[in-house]
Amino acid sequence: MTKKKEQITKAIKAKPMRFDVTHHHNDSGNSSSEHRKTLAPPNYISYKGPLKGGRHEPYPLTPDEISDHVSLLAEIGQSEDPDAFIGHEKFEMGYDTVWESIKYKSLETPTLINFYKGYFLCQPIFKWIGGSVAFHQHIFVYITEHLSASEFSEEDREKLWNWALLKMRDKVYRNPWSPSNQSKYGGCRNYQDKLAQDQKAQLNLKHDEIRHQAALERKALKQELNRLKQERKQINEDAYAIHIELFKQKPQQEKIDLIKKNQLPFPINLLPEDEIEAFIAGSLPGARHHMTKAEKKYFYKAIPKKTNKTLKQLKAKLGFELSQEKNSGPLH
């Protein structure tokens, strides 16, 4: 950093700075100049317009003033001397209203590149809007990504990237979002690092796409399995409905035997309640076709825990009877 830049940085921290101002006057018809030291106001770097809505409004710039300042920044970019902006500090180039008036895309390519460099160099020194919203990043992206090859070659691109990345090593210009408003380039030291980072990002993107595609396929497979399960469930329900109707038409003795032996062609908990009641009436003690102890045990185990109320009551009754019979303990 030059001595003048160090002085500017100190001035930013509210320390007054003296700089040379030459005044020309002509009292006797002859040109002469008076050279003297002038004290700059401590806050000249952040000199703003009147306070409005909680923030300082920028001084309005006419189209000619904007054009002059664009030319000045281009000259600064060519000379790489941001001190040349001293004396223009009150014109805040970082405000949206000013920036939107700058038609930088209409500039000739050499002027545009120098304008970018000048803005880049002045932005942190004169405290214009920076960070991820620094306006010079828009210029950089336009130059490096939107200009045609005839206007801006790959060699030009490498030179501009290397220039910006080299400047960013200086803590004054350090910005993790520069130069292209992408933080992934914050650790790059040269254009080759940038290309390597791009290659790595492309590889990661490809891996992400593969993982995303695999996730979509898993989701589609799961949906298909659920569809097949629902389809199978419907087929089973239709088949069970047919078997239940056929079961109802069988003789009562055959129905009781099928229930006792758990040989029903459908889940027992789908047994209609009237058939359950008929079975109870014909198979419990005192009934004509009452169950033996072995049949009770078998049937007890055949009734699922989650079933209808009637079967639950029957299971509880069978369990109680079995627990009371000799040589049989309580069943759980």
3-state secondary structure of 22: strand
d(CA 138, CA 104) in angstroms, rounded, equals 10
pLDDT in tens, 234-272: 999 999 999 999 999 999 888 888 887 778 898 888 888
**Is the predicted pLDDT of residue 78 greater than 90, yes or no?**
yes
Question: Cα(first)–Cα(last) distance of the chain, in Å?
Answer: 88
pLDDT in tens, 145-185: 999 999 999 999 999 999 999 998 888 888 878 788 888 88
Residue 38, token pair as written in the block: 């002038």
**Is the predicted pLDDT of residue 70 greater than 50, yes or no?**
yes
In this prediction the pTM is 0.52
pLDDT band at 108 (very low <50, low <70, confident <90, very high): very high
Give me the mean pLDDT over the 108-130 stretch.
Answer: 91
d(CA 313, CA 332) in angstroms, rounded, equals 14
pLDDT in tens, 187-211: 888 999 999 988 998 898 889 999 9
Mode of pairing for the β-strands spanning 55-56 and 51-52: antiparallel
Return mean pLDDT, the chain: 77
Given a contact cutoff of 8 angstroms between Cβ atoms, the answer to whether 76 and 59 are in contact is: no
Q: Who has greater pLDDT, 84 or 280? A: 84
pLDDT band at 16 (very low <50, low <70, confident <90, very high): very low
3-state secondary structure of 35: strand
pLDDT band at 94 (very low <50, low <70, confident <90, very high): low
**Is the predicted pLDDT of residue 59 greater than 50, yes or no?**
yes
**Is the predicted pLDDT of residue 41 greater than 90, yes or no?**
no
Give the contacts of 271 (CB within 8 A, at least 6 positions apart). Answer: 244, 259, 264, 279, 311
Give me the mean pLDDT over the 88-116 stretch.
Answer: 82
Q: Who has greater pLDDT, 5 or 31? A: 5
Residue 225: the pLDDT is: 94
Where is mean pLDDT largest: 21-30, 262-271, 304-313? 262-271
Please state which of the ranges 47-56, 190-199, 213-222 shows the lowest mean pLDDT.
47-56
The full set of domain ranges for the chain reads 46-189, 202-249, 252-332
